[in-house]
Amino acid sequence: MGYQYAIGTDGKIYLQNTYNVTGSNPTAIAIDQAGAFLYVTFQYQLGPQGQQLYSSASPGPGGITIFPISSKDGSLGTPSTVNVGNNPVGIVVSNIPPNGNLGRFVYVIDQETTTTPKATVLGFSQNATTGALTPTPGTTITTDSTGRTVATGYGAGTTPSAIAVDPTSRWVYITDEATNQLYGNNLNNDGSLTAMVNSPFPTGIFPVGLTIDPRGKFLYVANFTSGTVGAYALDVNAGTPTGAVGSASTATGTGPTCVTIEPALGIYLYTSNNLEGDVSAMQLAPQNGTLKQVQNTPFPSSALPTCAVTVANGSHPTQIIVN
């Protein structure tokens, strides 16, 4: 089930509509740059009568629900579905950079399980008119003899947990919570991914959140077990992240999950701290990406917050939403 909310002038949200996803157990959500299509990953396909296919004892096969978004009122149109692997847990849509050399691409991290093939990143090119997704070179979606979807793509470590694309759509980054590493990939003109030189890069313990500042200069990782945010500077030519895990990390509350930067000013960073029930607020220095805690941080939230997102209003940050 999906929910559409209107944002009031006071920052409060008001339920407008509910929508059925074309599968069950939705896991992640993304909107394209034009605001024309909404993509939702889910873990289980549904049968013709709406029943969940296969046993819930193991995930899959999963998919992506594609909703067209009305430019008039933000309502969602009739959805379509693309099948993916057995445990999709994250999705991101690239921008179209100013030079216009690239189209728009959608990437899904497929975590898989111990009984299914290796974790992978699946790439798709987007049809700007219909929102339809076509696998990029290196991504294949097939069906095995039992009718289950088999998906293969690009390397994503052991247990990928978060994914981000830089604002210029040149690089794609993935955290691996099992090996405490950050994978960097070059985004090619056809949407395929190739590993960066020297990738992967070390993180703190159990990285589960990832974001890039609006200028595309710095990358930040939320390390759940370490209780830190790791700061990395991105090489402007190669996209390589640099930053010592210890000295470039800033303490958060206990169990940070999501990390987000408000997109208007681009200088305030927040983490949802799951085990502490609060939100840490930090200010980043635009010249070097270092972080310092905002006065009176952390701020209370509901119990066990799982994620956070910031909302801009013109040139000023106005809201942060935590769930």
Percent of the chain at pLDDT > 90 equals 40
Other Cβ atoms within 10 Å of 99 Cβ, number: 8
Token pair for residue 217? 């200069």
Helix, strand, coil percent values for the chain (each to nearest 5): 0, 50, 50
| Cα–Cα distance measured from residue 165 to residue 168, given in angstroms and rounded to the nearest whole number | 8
Among the ranges given (109-113, 125-129, 228-232, 253-257), the one the predictor scored with the smallest mean pLDDT: 109-113
**Amino acid 132: pLDDT:** 94
The pLDDT tens digits for 112-168 are 765 555 789 999 999 989 999 999 999 998 887 776 778 889 988 889 999 999 999
> Count H helices, E strands: the chain?
0, 30
User: Would you state the pLDDT for residue 278?
Assistant: 85
What's the rounded Cα separation, in Å, for the pair 14 and 28? 21
Q: Name the pLDDT band for 303 (thresholds 50, 70, 90).
A: confident
Fold of domain 76-322: Methylamine Dehydrogenase; Chain H (2.130.10)
| pLDDT 10s digits, 182-194 | 999 999 999 999 9
Annotate 21-40 with three-state secondary structure.
Answer: CCEEEEEEEEECCCCCEEEE
